[in-house]
Amino acid sequence: MSILDPLKRVQRLRRSDALRRASGRKGDEAARVPPGQSLTRKFPVLTAGPIQRVSQSDWRLRLFGLVEEESELDWAALQALPQQTQTCDIHCVTRWSKLDTTWTGVPFRALHEISGALPEADHVMLHCYGGYTTNMRLDEMLEEDVMLAHTFEGEPLEAKHGGPVRVLVPKLYLWKSAKWINGVEYTLGNRPGFWEGYGYHMHGDPWTEERFG
């Protein structure tokens, strides 16, 4: 869609910055952990409420807000979209980091292409089963490593980690990688989601410790 064109240069610059920060860090685990973080081999489970348990057959994803026409995807429609697998590091605002995690899912770019988003949309609000929300800049959602993940380490994503589908935004603190995603609302302007409303940072970059606003 047309919104991709003016973003290409910005996205290239951000990818170059990410590569610059990662250069020389392969094999050096300590250098891959952002300031204030500690490395863990486990995958801690932290949620803002009870774990949501939604079957693949019941799961739905609503695309709404600043779109030409509201639409909804089911599990089969999600699986019919392009899929990708990536290995990345993840960082939680509660100060743990986990390296070399492998995920499979649908790139957000692919979802965006069928969303009918209007040109004036510049942010999204991610909505989840259970009522959780978090805000994201649309240009960052369109970067190549952002996905709707349904598989972790080759296995279907467990409910405790956000299955059947969660968002994955590796470059930001993990509260932005919303679990149990069930809606993408396109918006004009940036309004706070759940944790942002309680004082968390509106952006959440772990390398600059954007923990609180």
What does the pLDDT look like over 35-82, one tens digit per residue?
999 999 999 998 888 999 999 999 999 999 999 999 999 999 999 999
Q: Are 82 and 106 in contact (CB under 8 A)?
A: yes
In this prediction, residues 74-102 reach a mean pLDDT of 98
What pLDDT, on the 0 to 100 scale, is given for residue 27?
Answer: 58
Determine the pLDDT at residue 17: 45
Q: Is the pLDDT of residue 133 over 50?
A: yes
Q: Is the pLDDT of residue 22 over 60?
A: no
pLDDT for the residue numbered 48: 85
pTM, entire model: 0.86
What pLDDT, on the 0 to 100 scale, is given for residue 13? 40
Helix (H) or strand (E) holding 90: strand 84-91
> In angstroms, rounded to a whole number, what is the distance separating the alpha carbons of residues 125 and 134?
6
Hey, what amino acid is at 134?
A: T
CATH numeric code, 2-208: 3.90.420.10
Q: What is the pLDDT of residues 164-186, one digit of tens each?
A: 999 999 999 999 999 999 999 99
CB 63 within 8 A of CB 70: yes
The reported pLDDT for the residue numbered 11 is 41
Mean pLDDT, rounded, of the chain? 90
Domain ranges of the chain: 2-208
